Chains A and B, each alone.
Chain A
Amino acid sequence: GQNIDQPTEMTATEGAIVQINCTYQTSGFNGLFWYQQHAGEAPTFLSYNVLDGLEEKGRFSSFLSRSKGYSYLLLKELQMKDSASYLCATTDSNYQLIWGAGTKLIIKP
């Protein structure tokens, strides 16, 4: 079967660091995406990992371990505008995106 798990909600403080985890089981694997979705808006692309390791892009980094079926999104120097849902999505053997339910991140001052 195909399954993606991520926490439903997380809370963090402005200026801090937060790590959002994602575990997946898919029939075949062809990369993992992280998208950000503000309330009432469409998802926007954050990162893409296809090989193991850490990809850093400014305040955001994404990590992938294919052998463990695991990824995380790391957000540093949190800002209030980072309050959003973060969606993990993998591509299966047909290169279709399989989406997680998303993690709602709440940033407190």
Chain B
Amino acid sequence: EAGVAQSPRYKIIEKRQSVAFWCNPISGHATLYWYQQILGQGPKLLIQFQNNGVVDDSQLPKDRFSAERLKGVDSTLKIQPAKLEDSAVYLCASSNGLAGDSSYNEQFFGPGTRLTVL
């Protein structure tokens, strides 16, 4: 079974530029997550999709961050314009559980995109 794919693996941009990340979840996984992980911290959920609908985007800085999951499979996360504090690893994860599902719901992570904003 193929894992979660992400690209690019690394990206360096200057502040105020735009950047986009791509994620392809495990086939059949309905739920997709984007996390931001700053060095030395745990992952912070940015947005959760179930199929192509948003379940939770309460921690997404909507003035600069946007995400979509058209057709309920691949997803893109965009930052426009980037700030220095956006430097982090952006992790995509997927699971076959559904929002509010009481059953065990392991998340599978992609390799992440390391973003450096100069």
Residues of A within 8 A of B (CB): 4, 30-31, 33, 40-45, 48, 50, 87, 89, 91, 94-97, 99-102
Q: Are A41 and B41 in contact, CB atoms less than 8 angstroms apart?
A: no
Q: Which of A97, A99, A102 has the most CB of B within 10 A?
A: A97
With A95-B100, A96-B56 in contact, do A101 and B40 touch (Cβ < 8 Å)? Answer: yes
Report the number of A-B residue pairs with Cβ-Cβ less than 8 Å.
50
Say how far A100's CB is from chain B's closest CB, in angstroms.
5
Q: Are B99 and A99 in contact, CB atoms less than 8 angstroms apart?
A: no
Main secondary structure of the interface of A (DSSP, over half): loop
Q: Are A42 and B107 in contact, CB atoms less than 8 angstroms apart?
A: no
Assembled-state Cα–Cα distance A40/B111 (Å): 8
Q: Are B104 and A48 in contact, CB atoms less than 8 angstroms apart?
A: yes
Main secondary structure of the interface of B (DSSP, over half): loop
With A31-B104, A42-B112, A44-B109 in contact, do A96 and B45 touch (Cβ < 8 Å)? Answer: yes
Q: A91-B105, A95-B99, A96-B48 are in contact. List 9 more A-B contacts (CB 8 A).
A: A40-B114, A42-B111, A43-B43, A45-B108, A87-B42, A94-B99, A95-B101, A96-B45, A99-B42
User: Across chains A and B, which 6 residue pairs bring their CB atoms closest together, nearest first?
Assistant: A99-B42, A42-B109, A101-B42, A99-B43, A101-B41, A45-B106
